[in-house]
């Protein structure tokens, strides 16, 4: 009888442990990490910036409007 009580306690412990683990697991529908963006180099300072954040000028791409203005004067 004592063995049965110990066995039930162990099973209950394992059940509670697995329940707690499932709660901490991320939901399966979570989106993955964003795909890496192509990086472009600033023609003024050489800093690499994501393509969608780069400022395009007549002589190349820049990390900021200020650097485009410094390089192109406009
Ligand atoms: Zn720059």
14-72 confidence digits (pLDDT tens) = 888 888 887 776 666 777 787 788 999 999 999 999 999 999 999 999 999 999 999 99
Q: Give, in order, the Cα–Cα distances in Å from 9 to each of 1, 5, 18, 21, 70.
A: 13, 6, 14, 18, 73
Asked if pLDDT for residue 10 goes beyond 70, the answer is: yes
Residue 46 lies in a domain: yes
CA of 72 to the centre of ligand 1 (A): 12
CA of 60 to the centre of ligand 1 (A): 11
CA of 37 to the centre of ligand 1 (A): 18
Domain that holds residue 53: 37-74
Residue 14 lies in a domain: no
Residue 7 lies in a domain: no
Question: How far apart, in whole angstroms, are the C-alpha atoms of residue 42 and residue 56?
Answer: 9
pLDDT of residue 60: 95
Q: Which helix (H) or strand (E) holds 26?
A: none
Q: How many residues does the chain have?
A: 74
Asked if pLDDT for residue 74 goes beyond 80, the answer is: no
CA of 55 to the centre of ligand 1 (A): 9
């Amino acid at each position: 009888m004592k063995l049965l009580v110990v066995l039930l306690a162990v099973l209950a412990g394992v059940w509670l442990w697995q329940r707690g683990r499932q709660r901490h697991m991320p939901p399966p529908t979570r989106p993955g990490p964003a795909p890496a963006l192509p990086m472009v180099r600033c023609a003024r300072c050489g800093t690499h910036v994501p393509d969608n954040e780069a400022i395009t000028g007549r002589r190349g791409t820049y990390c900021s409007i200020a650097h485009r203005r410094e390089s192109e004067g406009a």
